[in-house]
Each structure stands twice: as structure tokens, then as C-alpha cells.
Amino acid sequence: MDKVTDAYYAQRHWEEFRDKIVKKQLTYGAVVHDYFKLVDEMNRTKEDLRQWRTN
């Protein structure tokens, strides 16, 4: 169940990030940094979920 929880939190972080961009609360540098950090988190979570489903 932890993998599903991790996936939920990764999705929530992405949605919060997207909302901050829309509301223009982040500078360009922060956007780039946060974007790559979140993409990495989401990719790791997706891979973990794939492995969890196949086990």
C-alpha cells in the first residue's frame, strides 16, 4: 500500500506545482528546479508501482 500512497503524494505534489505556476508564485529558476525534481519523483514512483503490480 505504500507504493500507492507514494503515487498519490507524487500526484499531489505535481498538482501543487502546476497551481503555483498558474498563480505565478514561482520564479523561473524555481520552476525549472521544481519541475525536474517532481518529474524524477514521478518517474521513480511509476517504476515502483510497475514492480509492485508484477509481484
Q: How far apart are CA 34 and CA 3, in angstroms?
A: 22
Residue range 9-28, pLDDT digits in tens? 888 888 998 888 888 887 88
Specify the pTM: 0.56
Structure confidence at residue 31 as a pLDDT band (50, 70, 90) = confident
Which residue blocks in 1-55 are alpha helix, DSSP H? Answer: 2-22, 28-54
Enumerate the domain spans of the chain: 2-54
pLDDT of residue 1: 55
